[in-house]
Amino acid sequence: MTDAPKPAPKNEDDKAAYLKAQKQRNLFIALGLVLFVVLVFFISMSRMASGLKRDAHLRAVAAESAAAADASKASQ
């Protein structure tokens, strides 16, 4: 990244080596991008799942406290 890109070579042997190296770089960039997307996906799914569990627990606690409050009103 610090060096200026090299111009395309003139002869066929150098051109073939240049294209091979370019394809390899492109493949590694694509692979890194795919791995990043998969990582973000799984982290997001994990965070959403833990949020759903927390929300379900909070709803259950709220329902229990509402039922207890109704029971105490009914007994008075």
pLDDT value at position 8?
Answer: 65
10-residue mean pLDDT profile of the chain (76 residues): values are 70 90 97 98 92 82 81 73
pLDDT value at position 65?
Answer: 82
pLDDT value at position 6?
Answer: 72
* DSSP of the chain: --SPPPPPPSSHHHHHHHHHHHHHHHHHHHHHHHHHHHHHHHHHHHHHHHHHHHHHHHHHHHHHHHHHHHHHHHH-
pLDDT value at position 76?
Answer: 66
pLDDT value at position 43?
Answer: 94
pLDDT value at position 58?
Answer: 82
Closest CA to 9 of 20, 69, 1: 20
Beta carbons of 9 and 22 less than 8 angstroms apart: no
